[in-house]
Chains A and B, each alone.
Chain A
Amino acid sequence: MPMRTGPEHNSRLDEQLSAWLDDELPEVEQEFFVARLVQSPEGAARLARYGLIGSCLRDRTAVVAGQISDEEAALQLAGRVRAAVGAPGSATPLPAPARKGRALPYAMAAGIALVAVLVAVVQTPPLRPGAERMQASTQTAAPASLQKASLSTRRMTNYLVHHGEYSGLLSARVTESHIINGRPNFVALRAADASPR
């Protein structure tokens, strides 16, 4: 029995989500599905849980204890990336890839953006020595759709925190993350650095 948490969500979307997770959603359904999914915090939360379920099932054959904890840890990733790149619901065009002969304007824009980031950067300690700081420059209230998603994420986080006495490592990570206060941070992206190494 699918859980419905709002009119925007229904079991058809859930079934499509399941198929999409498996890369089995027919092309003809994808456009409508994606349009609805991006508007559905419940769908995002469900996606995370479906991923967790799959991971648990795959690891039931693992002989080494401790693999499961990685699944739980992975649940923090989306919140951390969200905090680093900006919140869902906001639409900021990504920088176009640099082209030959146009490097200078992009470099200047990148410099300006970087200065803005440096000026506004929140002085939180890095997660560990040497780790690249990728966290927020400014904070704004999350849109309603995100707040709903954040609630579910917070509950997941609370689960980890409530069980913190069993896991010093995980609870420490959760406490460090910005998921816990439900206020994702936003970061101004550098216009440069648009290619993976």
Chain B
Amino acid sequence: MAVTGGDQLLVERAQKGDRGAFDLLVLKYQQKILKLIMRYVRDQTEALDVSQEAFVKAYRALPAFRGESAFYTWLYRIAINTAKNHLVAMQRKPVEYELDSQDPDSAERNPHLREEDDPEGLAMQEELRQTVERALAELPEELRTAILLREIEGLSYEEIAVAMDCPVGTVRSRIFRARETIDIAIRPLTEK
């Protein structure tokens, strides 16, 4: 079965003015975009502003998006340009390294180490991190392997299927069950 860039249908809906469709694209990519921008703008508060601006720019530019690249690649370029423009506007020099504006993966390969994190905020986040860790540790081996191969190693379902010697459909199911189990564990933290 063919798998294409899974964003196309939502993009088409968003281009027709369906804001719910665009909202789903934001939900899908918000983590990536914020982390990307934090490679340029170190302050988290500022990075949130710039990330918001990038998404709004993308929304406004949607009519011009022709699908010649993947949606995320296009969004990635907007985010980088927005971050650079922000630095220029703030009369601040860019950070000491440069990401490839054409290659979304370059951000993943170039982890930016920050030193000025709020230590108090870490306590709050630690609860979430530990909950995820505990849920992960309690997963059956095949579920844990599947989701780690996907999330950490970045393997495709097909590659995971080869690695785990099982059908692609099984990989899909295992990854979903792993997410679902972890989701149930973190849900109380998010629904208090």
A44, B157: Cβ atoms closer than 8 Å: no
B192, A193: Cβ atoms closer than 8 Å: no
CB of B162 closer than 8 Å to a CB of A: no
Q: Give the tally of cross-chain contacts (CB within 8 A).
A: 298
Cross-chain contact of B183 among A46, A57, A158, A169 (Cβ < 8 A):
A46
Cross-chain contact of A72 among B5, B38, B51, B128 (Cβ < 8 A):
B128
B183, A54: Cβ atoms closer than 8 Å: no
Cβ of A92: which chain B residues have Cβ within 8 Å of it?
Answer: 17, 19
Q: With A and B bound together, what is the CA distance between A152 and B188 in angstroms? A: 11
Cβ of B145: which chain A residues have Cβ within 8 Å of it?
Answer: none
B190, A173: Cβ atoms closer than 8 Å: no
**What is the interface residue range for chain A against chain B?**
35 or more
Minimum Cβ distance to chain B for residue A31 (Å): 6
B20, A23: Cβ atoms closer than 8 Å: no
Query: Interface on B for A, CB 8 Å cutoff?
Result: 1-10, 13-24, 26-28, 30-31, 33-35, 38, 44-49, 51-53, 55-64, 77-78, 81-82, 85, 89-90, 111, 113-115, 117-129, 132-133, 136, 147-148, 150-152, 156-157, 172-173, 175-176, 179-180, 182-184, 186-187, 189-192
Query: Interface on A for B, CB 8 Å cutoff?
Result: 1-3, 11, 14-15, 18-28, 30-31, 34, 37-38, 44, 46-58, 60-78, 80-82, 84-97, 127-128, 130-132, 134, 145-146, 152, 155-156, 158-160, 162-163, 166-170, 172-173, 189-190, 193-197
Known: A56-B132, A72-B128. 10 other contacts (CB 8 A): A30-B6, A65-B117, A66-B122, A69-B124, A73-B34, A88-B24, A95-B63, A168-B121, A197-B82, A197-B85
